[in-house]
Amino acid sequence: MSKILEIIPSRHVDQRGFFAETYNRKKYLEYGIDIKFVQDNHSVSNQIGTLRGLHCQFPPCPQAKLVRCCRGAIFDVAVDIRKGSPTFGQWKGYELTAKKGNQVYVPIGFVHGFITLQANSEIIYKCSDYYAPKTERSVLWKDPDIGIEWPFVSDPILNKKDAEAPLLKDFESPFIYGINS
């Protein structure tokens, strides 16, 4: 599957709280997600307005991701960077919240990032390949050609790498629509 997909797992709620199945390979195959996930990551952002992204990994270690917010809330974004794609440079964004329990599937060939909407937000995401720092790349979160409509961002909390990432027009994507993504 090479499109962004929002998934809302069923929750079974009673007086104790809730139970949710957050990943079931058979169900995800029905959605068209035939990915072998090999690594889970857990991220905590202490302050509202913490922005992480936009990141991807190049071949030979590209990553598809299945992202969910297990505490707090985030605005999650993916941008198509596949050369020749009819949606190249376009973005999709979803508010992921612990309360709703929704997830976003981000396929290979997209950069991904998020900003926290609540303090102490926790994000857990599955990855289809292992973290490989030498293959990691970034695109600037505020690239005017992409035009992501980040909620209430005037001065986000960033690390140096994300603050200095290149614009998409200066980014040489190895991903080609219909071939390797």
Q: Which residues are known catalytic residues?
A: 55, 125
3-state secondary structure the chain: CCCCEEECCCEEEECCEEEECCCCHHHHHHCCCCCCCCEEEEEEECCCCEEEEEEEECCCCCCCEEEEEEECEEEEEEEECCECCCCCCCEEEEEEECCCCCEEEECCCEEEEEEECCCCEEEEEEECCCCCHHHEEECCCCCCCCCCCCCCCCCCECCHHHHCCCCHHHCCCCCECCCCC
